[in-house]
Amino acid sequence: MVTLNPDFVSELATAGGENAKMCFQCGTCTASCPSGKNTAYRTRKIMRMAQLGLKDMIIGSDDLWQCTTCYTCEERCPRGVPIVDVVIALRNIAVANGKMYDAHKKTASNLIKFGHTVPINDKIKAQRVELGLPEVPPTVIANEKAKADLDVIFKATGFTKLIG
């Protein structure tokens, strides 16, 4: 059964998606969405479901994860709804409720492990040296202290625990 969840409005607001309420359902976003052309994802529908508090429906479906964050809809929305912010807020809520795709989780654990979303490898090291660049770029991966600092941030925000 579909249940309306009035408390969801405040949950969404806390996550940064408060302005979903400004949407008046014109459908310009759906008509502009390149991702919706290939999938069942309908931007307008997500906004409506957010307004109604259909939390379980939103976080239970793949649709929310089809947005490429291209901003095409947001540029055209006549109500100035920060659509991408709303999508991001909804995704944050989905993730907090345990909805995580393995591929995304991998990216997140790379960040925790290396401070970057992709690891370095021997081939890249060799190419860098050949180009006269330092073998390892002068970022967090080249400095243990900096990496430890980053870990402190991830622990403080609960990210390390979230990704597990």
Which residue in 5, 69, 107, 127 binds ligand SF4 (CB under 6 A)? Answer: 69
- Minimum separation from the CB atom of position 3 to another protein (A): 25
* Residue 79 in the binding site for ligand SF4 (CB under 6 A): yes
Tell me the C-alpha distance between 23 and 21, whole Å.
5
The rounded distance, in Å, linking the Cα atoms of 76 and 31 is: 10
Amino acid in the structure at residue 114:
F
Residue ranges in 13-52 that form contacts with ligand SF4 under rule CB under 6 A: 23-29, 32-33, 35-36, 43-44, 47
* Gyration radius (Cα) of the chain, Å: 20
Residues 6 or more apart whose CB falls under 8 angstroms from that of 78 comprise 26, 28
- Of 5 and 127, nearer to another protein (C-beta) is 127
Q: How far apart are CA 105 and CA 46, in angstroms?
A: 23
Among ligand SF4, another protein, none, partner that 159 touches (CB below 5 to 8 angstroms by kind): another protein
Residue at token pair 């900096």:
146
User: How far does Cα 143 stand from its chain's mean position?
Assistant: 28
* Geometric angle at alpha carbon 19, from 48 and 97, rounded to 5°: 70
Residue 60 interface partner, choices another protein, ligand SF4, none, CB cut-off 5-8 Å depending on type: none
Contact between 72 and another protein (CB under 8 A)? yes
The residues binding another protein (CB under 8 A) are 15-16, 34-35, 38-39, 62, 65-72, 74-75, 82, 84, 87-89, 91-92, 95-96, 100-101, 103-104, 106-108, 111, 115-120, 124, 127-128, 130-133, 137-140, 142-143, 145-146, 149-150, 152-154, 156-159, 162-163
